[in-house]
Structure formats: structure tokens, C-alpha cells
């Protein structure tokens, strides 16, 4: 079963420009068998997941949630929870330790999404509360961080996952996990993920295409930096947010 465990829909994530229906149809067109809808701090109502599954079967839709945790150093970290639908997940302001204990004591699955995205370190205590997995590839993870993330996961004994983090259907399923068998429900999906019975996969052609565009933008930013321009200048010139400029200025890259 080819599954993207991390993507966003405009019904519950303001930053996504893709509706549920567009995400599902895009995933089907890219050859996936299933997705987990993991909106920011919002669950998909259980009854609605059932309706979506009925409408698009045999394609499978699972409901998860991406929770933002206010961590150390005044930095946030995002974690992915699968297998639980308790509304308290979206209602409470959690510390990492609290949400970890809540999820693990109820048989759920917890992963750290895109570590090192805005920071040189992980700003929650994953040494003490070891996540089931760490996301190693997505459209929000620089490929320069792959080794760092792989080493971290290995040291902690966490599995790796890779996902699109798509907020737009051009990215849906660009990275995915190919799970052995065909989990029918949350419990079976969580079991497969915990057992590591899957392969990390990507859509090579779309990754290459994506990186080509990123490289063009970053070459342009490097040129601006050479000319002494600032992030503010970059925003004015391009109408984009400062993120890409700051990343390049830190010697990082958005190539995935």
C-alpha cells in the first residue's frame, strides 16, 4: 500500500490551497493507495472520514493530526499523531511530554515532522520521549539534513518516514511509504508503521523537477546576497516570504 502520511487540506489548514477532494484525486492520479490527512492542530471528524472512504473506495483515507508544540529556545516543533481521534488532541495546548504520554498510553503513533526546518537543533526532548519515527524527507526538509536525521533516528531507535507535507496538489505523494499488505484501519496501519514494515519511496521525476525550480530560485538568492541585498529586498522583489532567502543565507538549501 503506497501511502503519504502527511498532507494538508484547505478544509482545516488555512495554509493549504488543496481541498480534501483535490488531495484525494491527486493521490489517486499519482498512483497512491492511501493518504493520512494530517491538518494543523485539527482532526478530521470520524464520521466524515467514513464518508470519504465510502465515496473513494478502494482508495483509503486515514485521519491524523499535526500538532505544533511550543518547544525549547522559543522554537516550535510539529509532531504527527496517527491512530487516535480524541478531540482533546486539537483542544489542548500540549507540551511534548504530555502529548507523547497521552498518545503512547492509548496505542497511537507519534512522529517528529521535519526536524531542523528552522533550527539547528530539535527543540523538544526526544531523547526522553522517543518518537516512533522521524520524518526524513518531505517538501519541507532539505536534503542536506538527510544524514543528520538518519543518524539521529538510528541513535534513538526511531524509524524513518517520508511524506509530501503537500499544501498543494503538485506535491501530493512526491514522497511516500510503501507498506507491505493492506491495512484496513488505524490499528493495522499503526502496527505496520511501528514494525517498520514499509519502504521509503519517492516520485523521482517530480523530485527532480521540484529541485530544478528550487535551484533556480536559490541561484537568484545567492546573486542577491553577493550584491549585498537583504531578506526584505528579496520579499519586495519577488513577493515571496523571507524563508527561502534566510535558508540560503544560513548556508542551507530547500532542495529536497
* Binding footprint of Zn ion on the chain (CB under 5 A): 66, 78, 113, 165
Closest CB to Zn ion among residues 113, 158: 113
Name beta bridge partners: 198. Answer: 179
Q: For residue 191, give the DSSP letter.
A: H
Q: Which is nearer to Zn ion, 44 or 224 (CB)?
A: 44
Minimum Å distance from CB 114 to Zn ion?
6
Quick count: other Cβ atoms within 10 Å of Cβ 127?
10
H-type alpha helices, 6-161: 20-29, 46-56, 88-91, 96-105, 146-156
Nearer to Zn ion, 122 or 224 (CB): 122
Residue showing the smallest CB distance to Zn ion in the complex: 78
**Comparison of 159 and 167: residue with beta carbon closer to Zn ion:** 167
Kindly list the distances between the CA atom of residue 24 and the CA atoms of 3, 55, 59, 61, 104, in Å, as whole numbers in the listed order.
Answer: 11, 11, 8, 8, 29
- DSSP bridge pairs for 202: 175
DSSP state of 193: H
Q: How far is the CB of 236 from Zn ion (least distance, A)?
A: 27
Residues in a beta bridge with 82: 64, 109
Cβ at position 240, least distance to Zn ion in Å? 19
| Least distance (Å) between residue 54 CB and Zn ion | 26
Q: How far apart are CA 137 and CA 162, in angstroms?
A: 5
Residue whose CB is less far from Zn ion, 164 or 224: 164
* List of residues 6+ apart from 231 with CB closer than 8 A: 242, 245, 246, 249
Smallest gap from Cβ 30 to Zn ion, in A, equals: 18
Q: Which residue's CB is nearer to Zn ion, number 38 or number 158? A: 38
Pairing, β 2-7 against β 34-40:
parallel
Instruction: Please state the closest distance from residue 166 (CB atom) to Zn ion, in A.
Output: 9
Amino acid at each position: 500500500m503506497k501511502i503519504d502520511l502527511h498532507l494538508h487540506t484547505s478544509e482545516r489548514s488555512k495554509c493549504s490551497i488543496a481541498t480534501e477532494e483535490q488531495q484525494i484525486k491527486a493521490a489517486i492520479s499519482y498512483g497512491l493507495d492511501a493518504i493520512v490527512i494530517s491538518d494543523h492542530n485539527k482532526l478530521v471528524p470520524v464520521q466524515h472520514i467514513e464518508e470519504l472512504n465510502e465515496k473513494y473506495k478502494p482508495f483509503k483515507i486515514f485521519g491524523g493530526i499535526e500538532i505544533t508544540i511550543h518547544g525549547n529556545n522559543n522554537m516550535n516543533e510539529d509532531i504527527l499523531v496517527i491512530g487516535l481521534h480524541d478531540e482533546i488532541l486539537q483542544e489542548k495546548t500540549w507540551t511534548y511530554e504530555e502529548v507523547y504520554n497521552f498518545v503512547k498510553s492509548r496505542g497511537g503513533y507519534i512522529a517528529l515532522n521535519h526536524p531542523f526546518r528552522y533550527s539547528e537543533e530539535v527543540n523538544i526532548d526526544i531523547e526522553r520521549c522517543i518518537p516512533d519515527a522521524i520524518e526524513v524527507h518531505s517538501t519541507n526538509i532539505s536534503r542536506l539534513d538527510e544524514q543528520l536525521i538518519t543518524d539521529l533516528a538510528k541513535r534513538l531507535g526511531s524509524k524513518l518516514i517520508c511524506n509530501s507535507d503537500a499544501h498543494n496538489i503538485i506535491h501530493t505523494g512526491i514522497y511516500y511509504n510503501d507498506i507491505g499488505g493492506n491495512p484496513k484501519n488505524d490499528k493495522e496501519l499503526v502496527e505496520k508503521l511501528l514494525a517498520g514494515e514499509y519502504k521509503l519511496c519517492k516520485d523521482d521525476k517530480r523530485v527532480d523537477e521540484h529541485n530544478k525550480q528550487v535551484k533556480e530560485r536559490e541561484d537568484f538568492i545567492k546573486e542577491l546576497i553577493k550584491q549585498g541585498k537583504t531578506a526584505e529586498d528579496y520579499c519586495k522583489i519577488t513577493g515571496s516570504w523571507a524563508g527561502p532567502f534566510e535558508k540560503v543565507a544560513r548556508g542551507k538549501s530547500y532542495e529536497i
